[in-house]
Structures are given as C-alpha cells and as structure tokens.
Amino acid sequence: MFHRFPHSQRHHQEPEEGKRLIVSGTASQQEPSMEDELFEQVVSVFGTLVSWVAAGAMVFGGVVPYIPQYRDIRRTQNAEGFSTYVCLVLLVANILRILFRFGHYFETLLLWQSIIMIGTMLVMLNLCTDVRVAAELNTKRRSFLDFDWNYFWSWSRFVDYMQCVLAFTLVAAYITYLLLDSALFVETLGFLAVFTEAMLGTPQLYCNYQNKSTEGMSIKMVLMWTSGDTFKTGYFLLTQAPVQFWTCGLLQVFVDVAILFQVYYYSRYPQKPASHSTSHTTSAKAL
C-alpha cells in the first residue's frame, strides 16, 4: 500500500511556511520605513530649532553689542565713549529699509530687525541726552527748531531728536509714496538703506588711519561686528534676500576686516609713541 498521507501533509505545510516567509518579509520591509520616518521627524525638529535660533540671532543680534554700552553709561554717567552719530546712521538706514519694503517685499524677519533696532537707538539716544545735559548744566540749550546746522544732532532734549526722526520719516515716506511705481527709485532706496548701514565702520577706519593707531578702540567689539556681519551676509545669501542686502553686507564685512588689519599693522609697526592719557578714542560703532 502506498502511504499518501505524509505527502499530502507536506503539501499542506508548504503554503504555511510560504505565508510565514511572506509575513516576515513584509515586517522586515516595514521596520526600515518606520525608522526612516522617525529620522525624518528628528531632522525636521532639528531644522526648525536651527531656523528659530537663526531668526532670533538676526532680529536681536544687532542689539546685543549695545547692551554693555548702555549699562556702562548708566553706571559711569558718562556718554563720551559713545557717539550718538551711531544712532543717526542706524535710524536713517532702518527707516529707509522699512520704506523699501513697500516697493520690494523682503522677509518679515528683516522688518522686525529694523523695528527693534530703531527702538534700541532711541533708547540709547534718550540715555545719552540725559547724561550729557546733566553734565553740562551751564551750556546753552539747543533745539531742533532752531535749525542751526552747527548744532545738528547735538540738541539738549530727547524730544528734539524725536522731532528730527519724525520729520525725516514723514518726508521720506511722502517721497516714497509719490515714486513707489518707479522701479529705479525703489531699488535706489533699498541700496541707500543698506549702504548707509554698511558705511557705519568707515569713520573708525579713517580715524585709525589719521592717528596711525588703534589705541582706545575695542578690539573685542570689532570681532563681534565681524562675526555678526558675516553671519548676516550669509543669511541674506541663503534666504535670497534682495541683492542690495548681501552686496552691502559683503562691504560691511570688508570694512570690519580692514579695521582688524589696522589693529595688526599698527601693533606690529607702531607709527607713533603710545599715549598714556586717559582719553578714550572711540569709533562711530565703538562701545
């Protein structure tokens, strides 16, 4: 007799084994996909955190160097180490940048950067004015409404600076409104905004050249400016900001590097004897 039962049992077992192989193969295919999904989520969260940090650095990074300066002025009640022309340049640059946005849209992050910088410069102006007036009790009071060019930006009250800033803003806004349809005007406005800010370090560069020395200048602050301007320019390039932004950003980095070269050159090859006076030569950007 032939025993067919084992043979038929083998036929019944083979499909079961095949099913187990298929199921195990499917499970092995699903596991990598779950790992990939988890990895993508981690990368996405990390990318979001990096973008937030970069955004915060862009908005508040320009304000940071002025915090120790503000505290130092309050502590010493002496504002001679800080030039209020820093405030003038940055106010003009950021007001023009905001107006430029009406004709050429750019990232909202940069808009907030300008608004916060304007507020910071007004706070610095208020402090410097109060300290200077308190130290010059016998000096004749000067007002914006005197329209005396010899005392421009050297007024006795903070309200005079506010009047000047508001007058400039209204005039610039009205001109922008009239010429907003002109592409040439809009692009020129954007260039003037960032070019003004880019030129902030040139007074120090020229002052160092005249004095043949960098004595009294804060090297630490120049290094902070260089790193900040480099980061800012790289951000402009990566976010495809208008060409005016990254072009003048590169110019700003160049000025910072030139000042650092002066530090090296004049320390290596002194052009005049070191001064022992207590005066502090500061730049238009110096803290």
Domain residue spans of the chain: 1-60, 62-268
For the residues 233-254, what does the mean pLDDT come to? 83
> What's the pLDDT at 272?
59
DSSP letter at 251 equals: H
pLDDT by residue (tens digit) across 265-277? Answer: 888 878 755 444 4
pLDDT by residue (tens digit) across 179-214? Answer: 999 999 998 998 898 888 888 777 777 777 877 877
Contact 258, 206 (CB under 8 A): no
Greater pLDDT, 251 or 83: 251
> What's the pLDDT at 227?
83
